[in-house]
Amino acid sequence: MSRFRGAAWVLGLALLGLACASGGGGGSSRNPNVIRPEELAEIPNGSAFEAVQRLRPRWLRTRGMSSPSAGADFAQVFIDNAPSGGPDALQRIVVQDIDSLVFMSASDATTRYGTGFTGGLIKVFTKGGR
């Protein structure tokens, strides 16, 4: 009988530990590679560039040099899956028209779209473009 109580006690403690463990769903952690509408609401006026600059500034940082003569590499921009140039393209889009923004690393963008993404890729999805 005492073995049963010991096992029950250990099982009870294990279950209590699992019940107290955080599942991660209660926090407000942000995905570092996605800007969602809730976050865009923090910037009611402005461009996509301003939103990225404020919410995910690392997306706009250079990622090294492809060659000494080429200079630093910035992320490329796709708007509704259409190539749109570099970060300056983000200036043309107002926050109110954006559904979400997604950053792809250089390796992920190159794997999916081919070469030319040494600075990564910022994908802008507009409310009317999906």
What would the pLDDT profile of 85-117 be if each residue is shown by its tens digit?
Answer: 999 999 999 999 999 999 999 999 999 999 999
Instruction: Report whether 49 contacts 87 (CB < 8 A).
Output: yes
Q: What is the pLDDT of residue 73?
A: 87
Is the pLDDT confidence value at 16 over 50?
A: no
- Sorted by where each starts, the structural domains of the chain and their CATH numbers stand as 31-64+71-130 (2.170.130.10)
Higher pLDDT residue, 129 or 39?
Answer: 39
Tell me whether residue 48 is exposed, middle or buried, using C-beta atoms within 10 angstroms of its C-beta: 0 to 12, 13 to 18, 19 or more.
Answer: buried
What are 49-79's pLDDT values in tens digits?
A: 999 999 999 999 876 555 554 545 899 999 9
